[in-house]
């Protein structure tokens, strides 16, 4: 036994006990005749004291050789601390060291192992094992474990069975790019790593598994944007004999359970909103509803005056910024500059100050009188003291711009509180979305998503208007997950592939096994998948996922710690019948 | 809501309630005026009754069109069954159907969906989704889930943190062959899929995670033997500041917990045995100790008589077969033939019948008298009525042969009971094993395993005798898992790589990150990994793992259901800068 207690365990009740501890030297203060050391492990910090009057000389001498991050084992008596530290759980006591063994020495770490480190991102990634010693990273990994096990136990109690689906599957050109794995035994052939276990979970439904889940790694070979990883983790779920409502209820339950169990937050309301409503009210299919600032459409009250910019616009839309009437001209100009940045792309911004006395002062007073502006205030819900910001133009672009402004302002105003959680379901997503590049419709969710009952016929006439039995879970302005009711009829699935531009042969080669399966008694089914990395980050009050992943990759898809990927042996390539063509 | 109850739920207390059920038509009996249907789902079977006097005619007519495995939804009243079936949980009641909807039709399945199916292995694999509908397969997958969640909760309660380690890592030529994954973004480079998270879990210990576990997929591109899969699942664990004894205790606890929780079996003893002892007593490093038949070494009592075969042998060793004295000459000849098969390879077998009257009759009576044979009986523990089987020759081969015979006889005698569990620890494994092919020593466990204290020096003089801090968990004659105390000192690790034939450059290129990490304060640590597939199969009383895996691959590494691996697009290859050289 290397230790009798961990470094978070000792309390006043242990005083006079002889104990053995082990851990890392967090820091030491050497006063010559006395040395204090903070000894750290996963569980906490205990203060050690080496005192030349009470500690053997050899131990005292050895103690003086220790540096930061040395791994040591000490035995001694727990004593009462002279100056107690009420901020530390072990702050009432310290260990008077009698025996010391240095278990391993340590070079000076390349950055300080403290809550606030001096290490830059790159250095921290290269020495990730040292970064994990820091509380902020360590706690995030422990938090992730808590979320995972809470998910598993909740779903298990609800009758879900975790089934492991295979990682070596078949490449399908649909969707994102696959990572492939050359097969040595099947010459010239490749497996693919799953982008999701989608078809397997549907086959489990055909197989009568009824309620399936899995916390599972998925893979996408995409050009990495910030905060995207080539491998990521999904909470993947599927149920048979369900309608959309059943699924929403089950996973609303899971979300509430997690919030309560893991972050101690009780949800008051869990709204549902159609996609169309979310776009109209927030300009966004994943609105952050921790705060208001809902869109007010102003076409009816702002058009057909003499202001040509608005008259020629497809949409005129505004939001009320709480307390914004007090903004200086300079502050407002900064906002206007902000929306005109290329990343946002607005051509300009009209504003209205709603003065405390009930009067209005706008940037378009030339065209609109007080009565007009009062109608704007009504439409945007602006109160005296608020500022109305108005954008105009093509509908989808303008919505996106105003949505960006809404989020920016909320951040500036401190309305996006990390300890508040506002989930909602966005439902009735469009089945298809237009792809500018290929000039055709793509499945918005995936090709297995079922259109709303009776809408299949619209496919040929108004494909963009077909709504799907598809839904997203949104939390604090982030899409946490999404899913759909699936097609379970071979004919409809086959038609859908047709519609999405698959030839019969392609559909059969890639998804024949699924359509075959549908012929042997497929039940109605549906499900969803949550992104675990994102969910954990949001529950942990953070926006970026990287520190919730033990060993993340950088934006070039590299693990800089182990230096992967790397070239492989010529012999390995030969066995795989492959040649690198560079 | 597709159903108010599942098909395992209805009891006498539900009589007169109107309920809705959904599921698959297991079978139907059509008597013309009355039709009985067994409706099946994951939870059970409920009998439906369609009665022309009480069921609407349209429903009756529709019911007549249903075939096996049709998916239907029915509403009706729960009634008392005339002839109750006490074997079925729902056997007191049946559902008098008022409404019927056929949710999906089904072609005749390629094999019967019954506990005992007429489907051969290949057909069952191709239509795995139908095979999963059968109770024996479905129950095994549910059982696997129960084991997994029990493992997770137990380890979690013991303070272990599940940390997900990456799947896209770096290829290392050491050990089995890696599956590799070409990187598109890092041209000409490859990731490898992990054979185990070994180095990552060690880095987590360096990172202070203290207690880590993960249930994780691992990959090995090996020529597949029966009951081996290219992807398999490990329960992977590691602890810091531990000695071997700590690890054995923790995982002895886990094993006991699983046996109690999952199969209701309480362990009486959990022995530990050194590798040397296991080899001497059972000729095997994974002995099945559900039964005795321990080896008795006979060199001292059987050599130096006139029997040359024994005199020239390195080892003469026997086992007592309970009740074997009654075997006929023919039965004994069959045993002799069995040990002489090429798979076993013995040149012959000597036997001694221990008669009930205390006398002996052997196949070597020419050379040994009754007094000699009494000593053999003593050495093998043979009782009157037993048969002693004796093999001789080179030690390790003879042990392997007698071990095979012991297992065969135990199977014949019904001593390997699937509802009995006898775990044990085999400890003190050799550090190295001699590889005939490459004519050098290899790490028996892996290159990170620590030699026993003070044995490092033996490496240069008697490498084969160096024992490691390595241990295996054995259950019913199967190796369930194994592990070791690791090296945590850079110098020793470096020497070990030297010894195993790595050049400095190779060691640095492949494991430099680990040795670098050891310089920054690596704690003493160790761990183990259990094979989940095997563990679940053994706990489930089975010897083969395949049915405990939802979608297994065949012996050629193919998923015959989805037909993977497969060729990929020329465009995909080009993006990866690869060419197939076939």
- What's the rounded mean pLDDT across residues A156-171? 97
Q: Mean of the per-residue pLDDT values for chain B?
A: 95
Give me the interface pTM, i.e. the ipTM. Answer: 0.95
Cis peptide before A565 (omega within 30 of 0): yes
Is residue A160 situated within a structural domain? yes
User: How far is the alpha carbon of B535 from chain A, nearest alpha carbon, in Å?
Assistant: 15
d(CA B182, CA B340): 49
The Cβ-side half-sphere exposure at B15, using a 13 Å CA radius, reads 9
- What's the rounded mean pLDDT across residues B559-567? 95
Which residues, other chains included, contact A250 with Cβ-Cβ below 8 Å and sequence gap of 6+?
Answer: A158, A239
Residue A13 has φ and ψ, to the nearest 5°, of -65, -20
Distance of CA B169 to the CA centre of its chain: 26
- What's the rounded mean pLDDT across residues A457-477? 92
Which residues of chain A make contact with B131, given a CB cutoff of 8 A?
Answer: 207
Instruction: Choose the closest CB to A173 out of B231, B553, B569.
Output: B569
pLDDT at residue A174 in the model: 66
Which residues of chain B make contact with A515, given a CB cutoff of 8 A?
Answer: none
Question: Is B105 in Cβ contact with A164 (below 8 Å)?
Answer: no
Give the angle subtended at the CA of A180 by the CAs of A178 and A181, to the nearest 5°.
Answer: 160
d(CA B35, CA B321): 57
In B12-108, which residue ranges form alpha helices assigned H by DSSP?
A: 57-63
Which residues of chain B make contact with A45, given a CB cutoff of 8 A?
Answer: none
Domain count along chain A: 4
Kindly state the tokens that stand for A347. Answer: 């051509």
Beta strands A360-362 and A211-219 are unpaired
d(CA A477, CA A470): 18
In a shared domain, residues A513 and A538: no
Question: Is A71 in Cβ contact with B521 (below 8 Å)?
Answer: yes
Question: Is A210 in Cβ contact with B40 (below 8 Å)?
Answer: no
In a shared domain, residues B218 and B300: no
Cα nearest neighbour of B522 on chain A = A104
d(CA B321, CA B338): 15
Q: Where are the beta strands (DSSP E) in A108-230?
A: 161-162, 180-182, 190-192, 211-219
Question: Is B579 in Cβ contact with A579 (below 8 Å)?
Answer: yes
Q: Is the pLDDT of residue A175 over 80?
A: no
Q: Is the pLDDT of residue B328 over 70?
A: yes
pLDDT at residue B441 in the model: 86
Higher pLDDT, B543 or B389: B389
Q: Is the pLDDT of residue A360 over 90?
A: yes
Cβ atoms of A412 and A451 closer than 8 Å: no
Q: Is the pLDDT of residue A141 over 80?
A: yes
Q: Is the pLDDT of residue A447 over 80?
A: yes
Indicate left, alpha or beta for B393 from its phi (over 0: left) and psi (-120 to 50: alpha): left
Cβ atoms of B551 and A166 closer than 8 Å: yes
Which residues, other chains included, contact A391 with Cβ-Cβ below 8 Å and sequence gap of 6+?
Answer: A316, A317, A318, A339, A346, A349, A350, A398, A401, A402, A405
C-alpha Rg value of chain B to the nearest Å: 30
In a shared domain, residues B472 and B499: yes
In a shared domain, residues A160 and A261: yes
- What's the rounded mean pLDDT across residues B358-374? 96
User: How far is the alpha carbon of B49 from chain A, nearest alpha carbon, in Å?
Assistant: 21
Instruction: Choose the closest CB to A104 out of B180, B233, B489.
Output: B489
Question: Is A582 in Cβ contact with B577 (below 8 Å)?
Answer: yes
pLDDT at residue A325 in the model: 96
Is residue A190 situated within a structural domain? yes
Domain final residue pick, B58, B81, B104: B104
DSSP three-state, residue A354: strand
Is B229 part of any known ligand binding site? yes
Q: Is the pLDDT of residue B226 over 80?
A: no
Cβ atoms of A453 and A295 closer than 8 Å: no
Q: Mean of the per-residue pLDDT values for chain A?
A: 95
- pLDDT level of residue B174 (50, 70, 90 thresholds): low
User: How far is the alpha carbon of A14 from chain B, nearest alpha carbon, in Å?
Assistant: 22
Is residue A212 situated within a structural domain? yes
Distance of CA B170 to the CA centre of its chain: 28
pLDDT at residue B97 in the model: 98
Question: Is B43 in Cβ contact with A203 (below 8 Å)?
Answer: no
Q: Is the pLDDT of residue A456 over 90?
A: no
In a shared domain, residues B366 and B400: yes
Closest CA relative to residue A573, chosen from B149, B177, B456 = B177
pLDDT at residue B229 in the model: 94
- What's the rounded mean pLDDT across residues A52-62? 96
pLDDT at residue A171 in the model: 87
Is A30 part of any known ligand binding site? no
Cα nearest neighbour of B5 on chain A = A241
Is B220 part of any known ligand binding site? yes
Indicate left, alpha or beta for B57 from its phi (over 0: left) and psi (-120 to 50: alpha): alpha
Cα nearest neighbour of A487 on chain B = B104
Does an H or E element contain B219, and which? strand B211-219
pLDDT at residue B118 in the model: 87
CATH number of the domain at B213, please: 3.30.930.10
Q: Is the pLDDT of residue B175 over 80?
A: no
Is B399 part of any known ligand binding site? no
In a shared domain, residues B543 and B456: no
User: pLDDT of B124-151, one tens digit each?
Assistant: 999 999 999 999 999 999 999 999 999 9
CATH number of the domain at A65, please: 2.40.50.140
In a shared domain, residues B398 and B313: yes
Which residues of chain B make contact with A155, given a CB cutoff of 8 A?
Answer: none
d(CA B163, CA A101): 30
Domain final residue pick, A45, A80, A104: A104
User: How far is the alpha carbon of A314 from chain B, nearest alpha carbon, in Å?
Assistant: 41
How does A69-81 read in b/e, with b if 16+ C-beta sit within 10 Å?
bbbbbbbbbbbeb
Chain A and chain B share a number of CB contacts under 8 A equal to: 371
Closest CA relative to residue B563, chosen from A508, A489, A521 = A508
- What's the rounded mean pLDDT across residues A33-49? 97
Tokens 């910090």 belong to which residue? A45
In a shared domain, residues B307 and B405: yes
Q: Where are the beta strands (DSSP E) in B363-513?
A: 387-393, 423-427, 432-435, 440-443, 470-475, 478-485
Is B525 part of any known ligand binding site? no
Q: Is the pLDDT of residue B437 over 90?
A: no
CATH number of the domain at B376, please: 3.30.1360.30
Please state, for a pLDDT cut of 90, what percent of chain A lies above it.
Answer: 88
pLDDT at residue A276 in the model: 97
Cβ atoms of A149 and B156 closer than 8 Å: yes
What is the DSSP secondary structure assignment for residue A93, as one 8-state letter?
A: E
Question: Is A568 in Cβ contact with B171 (below 8 Å)?
Answer: yes
Kindly state the tokens that stand for B13. Answer: 């207390």
Beta strands A211-219 and A161-162 are parallel
Instruction: Choose the closest CB to A580 out of B188, B193, B524.
Output: B188
Which residues of chain B make contact with A209, given a CB cutoff of 8 A?
Answer: 42, 132, 138, 141
Question: Is A181 in Cβ contact with B207 (below 8 Å)?
Answer: no
User: pLDDT of A550-564, one tens digit each?
Assistant: 999 999 999 999 999
Is residue A278 situated within a structural domain? no
Instruction: Choose the closest CB to A129 out of B164, B203, B224.
Output: B203
Kindly state the tokens that stand for A223. Answer: 């050009």
Cβ atoms of A56 and A101 closer than 8 Å: no
DSSP three-state, residue A141: helix
Beta strands B71-80 and B180-182 are unpaired
Instruction: Choose the closest CB to A168 out of B104, B231, B489.
Output: B231
pTM of the full predicted structure? 0.95
User: How far is the alpha carbon of B521 from chain A, nearest alpha carbon, in Å?
Assistant: 4
Q: Where are the beta strands (DSSP E) in A256-349?
A: 272-274, 296-297, 315-321
User: How far is the alpha carbon of B117 from chain A, nearest alpha carbon, in Å?
Assistant: 15
Question: Is B70 in Cβ contact with A521 (below 8 Å)?
Answer: yes
Q: Domain span at residue A473?
A: 423-527
Question: Is B132 in Cβ contact with A165 (below 8 Å)?
Answer: no
pLDDT at residue A71 in the model: 98
d(CA B90, CA B80): 10
Is residue A289 situated within a structural domain? no
In a shared domain, residues A534 and A514: no
- Using CA atoms, how far residue B189 sits from A179, A573, B82, B452, B578, in Å, is 13, 11, 71, 39, 11
In a shared domain, residues B532 and B516: no
In a shared domain, residues B396 and B334: yes
d(CA A397, CA A393): 7
Please state, for a pLDDT cut of 70, what percent of chain B lies above it.
Answer: 100
Does an H or E element contain A490, and which? helix A490-499
Instruction: Choose the closest CB to B161 out of A142, A208, A522.
Output: A142
Instruction: Choose the closest CB to A186 out of B142, B241, B558.
Output: B558
Which residues, other chains included, contact A468 with Cβ-Cβ below 8 Å and sequence gap of 6+?
Answer: A428, A429, A430, A431, A444, A445, A449, A450, A451, A452, A484
Which residues of chain B make contact with A182, given a CB cutoff of 8 A?
Answer: 180, 182
How does A55-64 read in b/e, with b if 16+ C-beta sit within 10 Å?
beeebbebbe
Instruction: Choose the closest CB to A70 out of B3, B521, B568.
Output: B521
The partner residues of A242 in beta bridges, in order of sequence, read: none
Domain final residue pick, A527, A550, A566: A527
Which residues, other chains included, contact A43 with Cβ-Cβ below 8 Å and sequence gap of 6+?
Answer: A6, A7, A8, A9, B210
Distance of CA B240 to the CA centre of its chain: 28
Is residue A89 situated within a structural domain? yes
User: How far is the alpha carbon of A71 from chain B, nearest alpha carbon, in Å?
Assistant: 6
Is A220 part of any known ligand binding site? yes
- What's the rounded mean pLDDT across residues B397-417? 97
Is B378 part of any known ligand binding site? no
d(CA A201, CA A522): 12
User: pLDDT of B496-523, one tens digit each?
Assistant: 998 888 899 989 988 999 999 999 999 9
Is B303 part of any known ligand binding site? no
Q: Is the pLDDT of residue B19 over 70?
A: yes
Instruction: Choose the closest CB to A106 out of B133, B163, B520.
Output: B520
In a shared domain, residues A140 and A261: yes
User: How far is the alpha carbon of B63 from chain A, nearest alpha carbon, in Å?
Assistant: 16
Question: Is B582 in Cβ contact with A170 (below 8 Å)?
Answer: no
The partner residues of B25 in beta bridges, in order of sequence, read: B39
Is residue A494 situated within a structural domain? yes
Q: How is B335-359 classified by DSSP, letter by letter?
A: HHHHHHSTTT--S--EEEEE-TTS-
Is residue A287 situated within a structural domain? no
Q: Is the pLDDT of residue B171 over 90?
A: no
- pLDDT level of residue B96 (50, 70, 90 thresholds): very high
Beta strands A272-274 and A423-427 are parallel
Question: Is B145 in Cβ contact with A168 (below 8 Å)?
Answer: no
The partner residues of B222 in beta bridges, in order of sequence, read: none
Cβ atoms of A39 and A23 closer than 8 Å: yes
Distance of CA B344 to the CA centre of its chain: 23
Which residues of chain A make contact with B1, given a CB cutoff of 8 A?
Answer: 243, 245-246
Is A532 part of any known ligand binding site? yes
Q: Is the pLDDT of residue B224 over 90?
A: no
């Amino acid at each position: 036994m290397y230790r009798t207690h961990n470094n978070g365990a000792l309390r006043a009740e242990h005083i006079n006990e002889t104990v053995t501890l082990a851990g890392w030297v967090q820091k030491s203060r050497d006063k010559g005749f006395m040395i204090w050391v903070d000894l750290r492990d996963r569980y906490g910090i205990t203060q050690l004291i080496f005192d030349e009057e009470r500690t053997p000389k050899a131990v005292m001498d050895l103690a003086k050789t220790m540096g930061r991050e040395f791994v040591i084992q000490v035995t001694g008596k727990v004593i009462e601390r002279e100056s107690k530290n009420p901020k530390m759980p072990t702050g009432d006591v310290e260990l008077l060291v009698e025996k010391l063994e240095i278990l391993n020495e340590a070079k000076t770490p390349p950055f300080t192992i403290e809550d606030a480190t001096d290490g830059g991102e790159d250095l921290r990634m290269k020495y990730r094992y040292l970064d994990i010693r820091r509380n902020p990273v360590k706690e995030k990994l422990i938090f992730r474990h808590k979320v995972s096990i809470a998910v598993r136990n909740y779903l298990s109690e609800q009758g879900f069975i975790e089934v492991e689906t295979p990682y070596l599957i078949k490449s399908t050109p649909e969707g994102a790019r696959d990572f492939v794995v050359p097969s040595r035994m099947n010459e010239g052939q490749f497996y693919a790593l799953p982008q999701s276990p989608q078809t397997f979970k549907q086959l489990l439904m055909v197989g009568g598994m009824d309620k399936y889940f899995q916390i599972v790694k998925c893979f996408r070979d995409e050009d990495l944007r910030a905060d995207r990883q080539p491998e990521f983790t999904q909470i993947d779920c599927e149920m048979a004999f369900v309608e959309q409502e059943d699924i929403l209820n089950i996973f609303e339950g899971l979300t509430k359970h997690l919030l309560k169990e893991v972050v101690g937050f009780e949800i008051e309301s869990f709204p549902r909103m159609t996609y169309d409503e979310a776009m109209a009210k927030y300009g966004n299919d994943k609105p952050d509803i921790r705060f208001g600032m809902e869109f007010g459409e102003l076409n009816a009250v702002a058009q057909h005056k003499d202001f040509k910019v608005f008259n020629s616009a497809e949409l005129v839309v505004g939001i009320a910024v709480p307390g914004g009437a007090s903004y200086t001209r300079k502050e407002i100009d900064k906002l206007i500059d902000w929306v005109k940045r290329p990343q946002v792309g607005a051509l300009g911004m009209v504003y209205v100050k709603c003065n405390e006395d009930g009067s209005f002062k706008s940037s378009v007073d030339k065209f609109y009188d007080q009565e007009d502006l009062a109608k704007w205030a009504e439409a945007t819900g602006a109160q005296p003291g608020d500022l109305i910001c108005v954008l105009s133009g093509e509908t989808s672009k303008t919505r996106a711009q105003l949505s960006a402004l809404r989020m920016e302002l909320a951040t500036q105003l401190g309305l996006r509180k990390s300890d508040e959680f506002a989930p909602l379901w966005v439902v009735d997503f469009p089945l298809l979305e237009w792809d500018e590049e290929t000039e055709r419709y793509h499945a918005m969710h995936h090709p297995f998503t079922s259109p709303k009952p009776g809408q299949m016929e619209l496919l040929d006439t108004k494909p963009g208007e077909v709504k799907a039995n598809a839904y997203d879970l949104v939390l604090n302005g982030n899409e946490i997950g999404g899913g759909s009711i699936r097609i379970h009829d071979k004919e409809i699935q086959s038609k859908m592939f047709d519609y999405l531009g698959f030839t019969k042969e392609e559909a059969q080669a890639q998804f024949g096994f699924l359509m075959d399966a549908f012929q042997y008694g497929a039940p109605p089914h549906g499900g969803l998948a949550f992104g675990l990395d994102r969910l954990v980050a949001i529950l942990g009050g953070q926006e970026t996922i990287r520190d919730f992943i033990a060993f993340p990759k950088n934006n070039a898809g590299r693990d800089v710690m182990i230096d992967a990927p790397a070239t492989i042996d010529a012999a390995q390539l030969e066995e795989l019948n492959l040649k690198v063509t560079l």
